[in-house]
Chains A and B, each alone.
Chain A
Amino acid sequence: MTENFLEIKDLRKSYGVGEARQDVLRGMNFTVKKGEFCVLLGPSGSGKSTLLNIIGGIDTPDSGYVSINHDILDDMNEKQLTMYRRKHLGYVFQMYNLIPNLNVKENIEVGAYLSDNPLDVEEVLTTLGLQDHKYKYPNQLSGGQQQRVSIGRAVVKNPDILLCDEPTGALDYKTSKEILALIEDCNSKYGSTVIMVTHNEAIKHMADHVIKLRDGVVRHNDINENKIAASELEW
């Protein structure tokens, strides 16, 4: 973990015009190394989701840039951005957004289909503890199980970066810890760089890299030398 994989440079973004203008990102700078588990921490309105969306290529900055593996996203057109997301990114959202009329296995295959070197779907199902549920439809699963499927859909691509937007936001304590452990597993097992947005302070303890945001700027940028396992987290 020596090389800078992701670089955020003087990133600015605002919404609205005139009096309604709201600066969400106000000159943000940081870097993330390859394979790092990075947590973006901050309260509501700190700009963390906007930042994640810009890193994910689904939103654009007003100025500054995001560079991934030396490719600057701003230079890419819509097609190239789609290819970038297809080949390099995995996305996990707070809401699971599964396809209702595809079963668990097929929902994971939706991710596998996009990748040139996908992980084995069966293996992912086992890793995520979904083997017994693989033929169930999303509406037959609990919230935690649905979130596992959405993680499976993202990691099966074997992405370079796994972007997680409040993945435990809609889950209870116990399920949240299970989900965090799974993301941790994926990070260590498959070597994906994980960038997780959360407002839960406790989660920072399992990260390699913790970036605290407030009012659209980086307040703290810390490397966590004493990270602990997700299973040991308490809040």
Chain B
Amino acid sequence: MRNPLIKRIPRELKSDWHKYIVIILFMILMIGVISGMYVGHDSMLEAIHAGQKNLNLEDGNFELTSEASNELLDEISNQTTKVKIYEHFFRNASEDDDGDGEEDATIRIYKSDATIDKATFLEGRAPENDTEIAIDRMHADNAGISVGDEISVGDSKFEVVGLLSYVNYLTLHESNTDIMFDAFGFDVAMVTPEAFEHLTSRLHYNYAFTYVDTPKDNIEEADFSNDFRDDLIKTSYANANPIQNYVPEYLNQASNFAPSDIDSDTTSSSILCYILIGVIAFIFAITISNTIEKESTVIGTLRASGYSKRELIIHYMSMPIIVTLIGAILGNIIGYTAFRSIALNLYYNSYSLPSCELVWSDTALIKTTIIPLLLMFFINLFIIIKRLQLSPLRFLKNDLTKVRRETARRLPKWSFLARFRLRILFHNLPNYLVLIFGVIFIELMLCFAFGLPDSLNYYSQNASDMMFSKYQYVLMKNKDAMGNVITTSEESAEKFSSKTLMYPKDSNVTFKGYGSGEDEEVTVYGIVDNSDYISFPKTLKEDEVFISSAFADKFDLDEGDAIKLHEEYEDKKYSFHVADVIDYDGGIAVFVGNDNFNDIFDKDTDSFNGYFSQHEITDIDEQNIATTITADDIKKVTTQLQHSMGDTFVVFKFVLIALSASLIYLLAKIIIERNEKAISMVKILGFKNREIASLYIVLTAIVIILFTIIGFVASYQLMKWIFKLFILQMDGYFAYYMRVQSMILSMLYLLAGYGIVSVIDFMRIKRIPLDVALKNVD
């Protein structure tokens, strides 16, 4: 005979359907999103890994000052770490998409006959003649370029014949030290070798390599890379062709950022999902705990009749497990269909990824079904076992308190209603604790949903103020091919010197930095006396420098602190003391006088390598300009993030309101259900509905308002800290910022959710009949 208690489950589901619908929808949504993300994630990673094999991804690349001779290449190939070298020259040119003569992006062009770092085509084909070009799919999407359109690259016009994804440019990082990729202002492209030769912009002598012996693991790969780099520096300098750039593949952001970001997305989403499922599990546990309390005499009778504890545990465990299973099954179905496409679209919206096919994901099954089930199982098991510990007699006598207080808790001499509310609070403490946790958690999420777009907007709006000058030109050398000092007729131009050094990130930082390894890139500026662009607050002593406020904030540096910088590719170290902080949030920078700069770095007197300017400089040959920095370059991080995540945040805010409202709804419902008898009794005593509501609803309102405020303050501080940790992983600086309006809204959103729930609560209290307090069986 089947246990007849099983029949209770569908009836329980039916009779309290609105509660279970909220919970099941909640779970379907959570599990569906995570499942979709994992399936999308696994499908995408599979496609990426397949691409890495089939498209001959490099093990690293380096750039030399000039073209390497065959002898030099032979020498490099046969260093301690043997490598195969591929010529992989590129040019950076300006891209004009709409023919208005203004640069829309920097485009990096490779030849179509490359045998390394090849591309897949998402649309169209490879270029076949001098007038054809294939460009990155993501950039084309952002810039509104389609196959068949015409674009200008430098002085040449090309027809776009294909949209591609290069295996080594899954994200459009122009430089490996960029804090963020920039699919708006940067593009990669493929032209025929002939067309490549016709381009006039500076040729970058870049070489890709693969190891002859494949490294066994990441550790060996890092060893190979370090050995190779050390030898390469010596060899290149010895051959008077110094290395300009070196990027091992495992540290290449352009190829690693997307997979690792996809991974971290799923990890953080899973953690969110587990926290929410944990909250749901506690809500269940509280519900069941209340049911056990309500059914105490029935349980006592069943136990007295011979039902074992195990049978009752299984019975009370069934509901949460069944609800989780329903959520998991439906969630997975939606995950594999609708949410997978959403996840893939999110990826395609941000990254230059190849096309991918649906793959079965074991991880999705484990993380979306097994782990939530286990979470639900153990949390409920723990609470139910604890509740069913008592003897059958205690259940029969409805005597369920484990520890009986000798006397009632003494309360302050407040009004009767205030003391009554306090008693309700103590009586329902576990419910209120889960409610408080939920409120704080949602407030944290709201701080994230409001704060990140605010921070991006703030950074974006203030980007031009963060620049010393509208234009910053970094020259290749300060003399042209004829040996003449490069000058300009631009009146606002002012010479400066700059050099990139590395600042070791603190080893006790939680997260290891990536991008530039474990070092932060610091730009050291040599500023001329009486500069129009940067004014020094005081005179510098020997070994003293000024640092930018971004540098000071990121690493908690202050006046008087010692900083040690070192060269990236040479064994040279520099020690300085911070004289003062200059208000500049645009980058991690150090400032010294130009003469001092030339002394420190053994440069000739009057040496310089760049110009600050308020207007565009047009009379310096492009070949002599290494980089041009404008406000747009500073803004590109935020522009990209705003594009990738903009809509998501709006949706996220509304999901959070729904989430907070459902959480509060469930918990408030439980609290009122638990107190039905008491409410019925006070009704009999003559309390009006309004008075009863003021007891129960006002109490919940006080708790929610209080903890919304506390939750906001705590979350705001926590977000600042999380942001700082996050930014420590990367180069550059970007502080967490929240507008006052957003601060207020983040609390109002949550309270608005509660407002709706309190109306439902009032109606619920009104509906409780008088006889509940008097009935034996309901």
Determine whether A129 belongs to the interface, using a CB cutoff of 8 Å to chain B. Answer: no
Which chain A residue shows the least CB distance to B2?
A: A113
Determine whether B7 belongs to the interface, using a CB cutoff of 8 Å to chain A. Answer: yes
Cβ contacts under 8 Å, A39 to chain B:
none
Interface contact A58-B392, CB-CB below 8 Å:
yes
Cβ contacts under 8 Å, B2 to chain A:
113
Determine the distance from Cα of A205 to Cα of B191 in the docked complex, in whole angstroms: 111
Interface residues of A in 149-163 (CB under 8 A from B): 150, 153-154, 157
Binary CB contact string for chain B from 266 to 283 against chain A (1 if under 8 A, 0 otherwise): 000000000000000000
Cβ contacts under 8 Å, A111 to chain B:
305
Interface contact B297-A97, CB-CB below 8 Å:
yes
Cβ contacts under 8 Å, A170 to chain B:
776
Interface contact B15-A97, CB-CB below 8 Å:
no
Determine whether A100 belongs to the interface, using a CB cutoff of 8 Å to chain B. Answer: yes
Interface contact A97-B300, CB-CB below 8 Å:
yes
Give the distance to chain A from B372, nearest Cβ to Cβ, in Å: 27
Determine whether B5 belongs to the interface, using a CB cutoff of 8 Å to chain A. Answer: yes
With A58-B396, A110-B4, A110-B5 given, is the CB distance from A98 to B306 under 8 Å? no
Cβ contacts under 8 Å, B393 to chain A:
53, 58-59
The interface stretch among A24-32, A78-86, A185-193 is: A78-86
Cβ contacts under 8 Å, B776 to chain A:
95-96, 143, 146, 170
With A110-B4, A146-B777 given, is the CB distance from A101 to B15 under 8 Å? yes
Determine whether B298 belongs to the interface, using a CB cutoff of 8 Å to chain A. Answer: yes
Interface residues of A in 8-29 (CB under 8 A from B): none
Interface contact B306-A86, CB-CB below 8 Å:
yes
Interface centre among A58, A112, A138, A143 (most CB of B within 10 A): A58
Determine the distance from Cα of A109 to Cα of B302 in the docked complex, in whole angstroms: 12
Interface contact B777-A100, CB-CB below 8 Å:
yes
Which chain B residue shows the least CB distance to A60?
A: B391
Determine the distance from Cα of A180 to Cα of B397 in the docked complex, in whole angstroms: 24
Interface contact B1-A109, CB-CB below 8 Å:
yes
- Residue total for A at the interface (Cβ-Cβ under 8 A): 40
Give the distance to chain B from A154, nearest Cβ to Cβ, in Å: 7
Cβ contacts under 8 Å, A157 to chain B:
305-306
Give the distance to chain A from B307, nearest Cβ to Cβ, in Å: 7
Determine the distance from Cα of A138 to Cα of B295 in the docked complex, in whole angstroms: 14
The contact of B4 among A93, A98, A106, by CB within 8 Å, is A106
Determine whether B357 belongs to the interface, using a CB cutoff of 8 Å to chain A. Answer: no
Cβ contacts under 8 Å, A154 to chain B:
305
Interface residues of B in 3-49 (CB under 8 A from A): 3-5, 7-8, 11-12, 15
Interface contact B298-A97, CB-CB below 8 Å:
yes
Binary CB contact string for chain A from 166 to 182 against chain B (1 if under 8 A, 0 otherwise): 00001000000000000
The contact of B298 among A56, A98, A114, by CB within 8 Å, is A98
With A95-B297, A110-B4 given, is the CB distance from A90 to B305 under 8 Å? yes
Interface contact B304-A113, CB-CB below 8 Å:
no
Give the distance to chain B from A156, nearest Cβ to Cβ, in Å: 10
Interface contact A85-B777, CB-CB below 8 Å:
no
Interface contact B301-A97, CB-CB below 8 Å:
yes
Determine the distance from Cα of A53 to Cα of B4 in the docked complex, in whole angstroms: 26
Determine the distance from Cα of A114 to Cα of B311 in the docked complex, in whole angstroms: 11
Determine whether B308 belongs to the interface, using a CB cutoff of 8 Å to chain A. Answer: yes
Determine whether A91 belongs to the interface, using a CB cutoff of 8 Å to chain B. Answer: yes
Determine whether B778 belongs to the interface, using a CB cutoff of 8 Å to chain A. Answer: yes
Which chain B residue shows the least CB distance to A118?
A: B1
Cβ contacts under 8 Å, B554 to chain A:
none
Cβ contacts under 8 Å, B778 to chain A:
100, 139
Determine whether A102 belongs to the interface, using a CB cutoff of 8 Å to chain B. Answer: yes
**Residues of B contacting A: mostly:** helix
Determine the distance from Cα of A139 to Cα of B769 in the docked complex, in whole angstroms: 14
Interface contact A89-B4, CB-CB below 8 Å:
no
Interface contact B392-A96, CB-CB below 8 Å:
no
Determine whether A99 belongs to the interface, using a CB cutoff of 8 Å to chain B. Answer: yes
Determine whether B303 belongs to the interface, using a CB cutoff of 8 Å to chain A. Answer: yes
Interface contact A91-B777, CB-CB below 8 Å:
no
Give the distance to chain A from B208, nearest Cβ to Cβ, in Å: 71
With A113-B1, A114-B306 given, is the CB distance from A102 to B8 under 8 Å? yes
With A58-B396, A96-B777, A98-B298 given, is the CB distance from A87 to B8 under 8 Å? no
Determine the distance from Cα of A222 to Cα of B298 in the docked complex, in whole angstroms: 35
Interface contact B7-A102, CB-CB below 8 Å:
yes
Give the distance to chain B from A13, nearest Cβ to Cβ, in Å: 12
Interface centre among B7, B298, B309, B777 (most CB of A within 10 A): B777
Interface residues of B in 281-340 (CB under 8 A from A): 295, 297-298, 300-309
Cβ contacts under 8 Å, A146 to chain B:
776-777
Interface contact A101-B12, CB-CB below 8 Å:
yes
With A113-B3, A139-B777 given, is the CB distance from A99 to B8 under 8 Å? yes
The contact of B11 among A90, A101, A114, by CB within 8 Å, is A101
Give the distance to chain A from B371, nearest Cβ to Cβ, in Å: 31
Determine the distance from Cα of A102 to Cα of B392 in the docked complex, in whole angstroms: 21
Which chain A residue shows the least CB distance to B294?
A: A100
Cβ contacts under 8 Å, A100 to chain B:
298, 777-778
Give the distance to chain B from A19, nearest Cβ to Cβ, in Å: 15
Determine the distance from Cα of A146 to Cα of B12 in the docked complex, in whole angstroms: 21
Interface residues of B in 723-778 (CB under 8 A from A): 775-778
Interface residues of B in 387-440 (CB under 8 A from A): 391-393, 396
The contact of A101 among B3, B8, B306, B396, by CB within 8 Å, is B8
With A96-B776, A99-B8, A100-B778 given, is the CB distance from A79 to B1 under 8 Å? no
Determine the distance from Cα of A83 to Cα of B393 in the docked complex, in whole angstroms: 16
Give the distance to chain A from B325, nearest Cβ to Cβ, in Å: 21
Give the distance to chain A from B12, nearest Cβ to Cβ, in Å: 6
Interface contact A91-B307, CB-CB below 8 Å:
no
Cβ contacts under 8 Å, A102 to chain B:
4-5, 7-8, 11
Determine the distance from Cα of A106 to Cα of B391 in the docked complex, in whole angstroms: 25
Which chain A residue shows the least CB distance to B297?
A: A97
Cβ contacts under 8 Å, B298 to chain A:
97-100
Cβ contacts under 8 Å, A84 to chain B:
306
Which chain B residue shows the least CB distance to A82?
A: B308
Which chain A residue shows the least CB distance to B394?
A: A58
Determine the distance from Cα of A62 to Cα of B107 in the docked complex, in whole angstroms: 91
Determine the distance from Cα of A81 to Cα of B117 in the docked complex, in whole angstroms: 75
Which chain B residue shows the least CB distance to A97?
A: B301
Interface contact A79-B308, CB-CB below 8 Å:
yes
Give the distance to chain B from A104, nearest Cβ to Cβ, in Å: 12
With A99-B298, A100-B777, A101-B11 given, is the CB distance from A85 to B305 under 8 Å? yes
Determine the distance from Cα of A233 to Cα of B298 in the docked complex, in whole angstroms: 31
Which chain A residue shows the least CB distance to B1?
A: A113
Interface contact B306-A85, CB-CB below 8 Å:
yes
The contact of A85 among B3, B15, B295, B304, by CB within 8 Å, is B304
Interface centre among B3, B297, B298, B778 (most CB of A within 10 A): B298
Give the distance to chain B from A201, nearest Cβ to Cβ, in Å: 26
Which chain A residue shows the least CB distance to B777?
A: A138
Determine the distance from Cα of A149 to Cα of B7 in the docked complex, in whole angstroms: 17
Cβ contacts under 8 Å, A114 to chain B:
305-307
With A98-B298, A106-B4 given, is the CB distance from A89 to B308 under 8 Å? no
Determine the distance from Cα of A112 to Cα of B2 in the docked complex, in whole angstroms: 10
A residues contacting B by CB (< 8 A) are 53, 56, 58-59, 79, 82-87, 89-91, 93, 95-102, 106, 109-114, 118, 138-139, 143, 146, 150, 153-154, 157, 170
Q: A89-B304, A97-B298 are in contact. List 5 more A-B contacts (CB 8 A).
A: A101-B11, A106-B4, A110-B305, A112-B1, A114-B305
B residues contacting A by CB (< 8 A) are 1-5, 7-8, 11-12, 15, 295, 297-298, 300-309, 391-393, 396, 775-778
Top 10 closest pairs, chain A to chain B, by CB:
A86-B306, A97-B301, A85-B306, A109-B4, A58-B392, A101-B11, A97-B297, A138-B777, A91-B304, A58-B393
A selection of 27 A-B contacts at a CB cut-off of 8 Å is: A53-B393, A56-B304, A58-B304, A59-B391, A79-B308, A84-B306, A85-B303, A85-B306, A86-B307, A89-B304, A91-B305, A93-B301, A95-B776, A96-B776, A97-B298, A97-B300, A98-B298, A99-B8, A102-B7, A106-B4, A106-B7, A113-B1, A139-B775, A139-B777, A150-B301, A153-B305, A154-B305
